[in-house]
Amino acid sequence: MNFLEERIMKDGVVKPGNVLKVDSFLNHQMDISLMEEIGKEFKRRFADKNITKVMTIEASGIGIAAFAAKEFGVPMVFAKKSKSINIAGDVYVAEVESFTHQNKNQVVVSKQFLGPDDHLLIIDDFLANGCALLGLISIADAAGATVEGLGIVIEKGFQFGGRVIRNLGYQLESLAIVDAMDPETGSITFREQADSVR
Amino acid sequence: MNFLEERIMKDGVVKPGNVLKVDSFLNHQMDISLMEEIGKEFKRRFADKNITKVMTIEASGIGIAAFAAKEFGVPMVFAKKSKSINIAGDVYVAEVESFTHQNKNQVVVSKQFLGPDDHLLIIDDFLANGCALLGLISIADAAGATVEGLGIVIEKGFQFGGRVIRNLGYQLESLAIVDAMDPETGSITFREQADSVR
């Protein structure tokens, strides 16, 4: 098991409905040392890429993306949830459905902060059905930017988001891939990954 | 002028309606070196406090609070916006009105992550009418936690939030206090602060 899988085993809680609660260290309370370690691991996995900017989506991706951006020495930009029906012409827009909240949001990135010269690392905390990542990829495409890779902290391997993104040809690195969870026993099965840090 | 005031003069944009746009470096795109510098400055201003946790509110406070927490070597917890009318009993709730978005949100913090032993530094990017800070203070009070201080990146000195919080007896440190802005000329007047870094 790598450092993240170990932490999930220690502090993650499996709930009915395929919910994995990691809010004591990742997406409500944040363990900053872990964030730094995650940032360094993303840097290691995308070391050969010439990243110019890290992109994520609010809210829980922000902390992780910030520490990844620190490692690459580049700015971070986060897509903002927007309730406005009329979006001005100076933003890129994508529609994103949330698995957790079961609602749809428009997310926007100002055109000022993304362009054809950008080589992006897209970061998020969870990958389930892939909607958030597809939204961010479509925003990158609209800007003419290059998506160099996508880094996820926890992928739910039993949902199809990971397959969708990898089938599109992107380098997707998930620090932990959960293939199965049992709310009765609390057991979590991780997918074996060749590249994972021990 | 301190480092932040200089950056605001360089990259901030004054818009009609008392709007100061700093989204190129603070709350949409984030300059990570600046975040680190802000974190260190909060550490300097609250050096005598025994902080056990940094608290903020999603979304744009998260990055700043994370780097402040790094300096103090403590976890960070962020209040989450909640659309649910029925909130379970395991969270502290506050109602927060947003100046920017002109709407009300319930924000919640899990009871698990705040308690009587906590000595909190509360962090946010902007202070205008003070609603967000008052919400976070009320959550801290409900948990029996001690608010050791509040750190703000940009305070709008011409709104009453700062006066409200200081009148309650809290140590409130704003790295820049904007006393006046002129959208016609783009000029920004900062309040002189005895403690500001040169």
Going residue by residue through chain B (198 aa), what tens digit of pLDDT does each one get? Answer: 999 999 999 999 999 999 999 999 999 999 999 999 999 999 999 999 999 999 999 999 999 999 999 999 999 999 998 866 555 679 999 998 876 666 788 999 999 999 999 999 999 999 999 999 999 999 999 999 999 999 999 999 999 999 999 999 999 999 999 999 999 999 999 999 976 554
- Contact list in A for residue B30 (CB cut-off 8 A) is 66, 69, 75-78
The answer to whether residue B195 is domain-embedded is no
Chain A / chain B CB contacts < 8 angstroms: 95
Number of domains within chain A = 1
Identify the band that residue A97 occupies on the pLDDT scale cut at 50, 70 and 90.
confident
Q: Which residues of B touch A (CB under 8 A)?
A: 23-25, 28-32, 35-36, 58-59, 62-63, 66-67, 69-70, 73-78, 80-81, 83, 101, 103, 109-110, 112-113
Report CB contact under 8 Å: A35, B66: yes
pLDDT tens-digit readout, A26-45: 999 999 999 999 999 999 99
Show the domain range for A42.
Answer: 3-186
Which pTM was predicted?
Answer: 0.94
Query: Cα B95–B101–B105 angle (5° rounding)?
Result: 20
Among A58-72, A84-98, B50-64, name the one with the lowest average pLDDT. A84-98
> What pLDDT was estimated at residue A84?
62
- Provide the 3-class DSSP secondary structure of residue A110: strand
The answer to whether residue B196 is domain-embedded is no
- Tell me, what amino acid is at B34? L
Report CB contact under 8 Å: B77, A30: yes
The answer to whether residue A119 is domain-embedded is yes
Report CB contact under 8 Å: B74, A32: yes
The answer to whether residue A151 is domain-embedded is yes
Report CB contact under 8 Å: B62, A59: yes
Report CB contact under 8 Å: A70, B110: no
> What pLDDT was estimated at residue A104?
82
Instruction: Name the DSSP class of A113.
Output: G
The answer to whether residue A30 is domain-embedded is yes
Q: For the domain that residue B100 is a member of, what is the CATH number? A: 3.40.50.2020
Cα separation of B106 and B92, whole Å? 10
Report CB contact under 8 Å: B76, A113: no
Cα separation of B29 and A110, whole Å? 9
DSSP characters over B153-192: EEEETTSSHHHHHHHTT--EEEEEEEEEE-TTT--EEEPP
The answer to whether residue B67 is domain-embedded is yes
Q: How far is CA B159 from CA A120, B180, B183, in A?
A: 38, 10, 17
Min CA distance, B74 vs chain A (Å)? 7
Is there a cis peptide before residue A59, judged by omega within 30 degrees of 0?
yes
The answer to whether residue A195 is domain-embedded is no
Average pLDDT, chain A: 93
> What pLDDT was estimated at residue A87?
58
Decide if pLDDT at A85 tops 80. Answer: no
Cα separation of B88 and B82, whole Å? 11
Give the mean model confidence (pLDDT) for residues A14-27. 95
Query: A82: nearest CA in chain B?
Result: B101
Cβ contacts of B38 within 8 Å, gap of 6 or more = B4, B64, B67, B68, B153, B175
Write the ipTM: 0.92
Min CA distance, B17 vs chain A (Å)? 18
- Contact list in B for residue A67 (CB cut-off 8 A) is 66
Partner-chain residue, chosen from B29, B75, B81, that has the shortest CB–CB distance to A30: B75
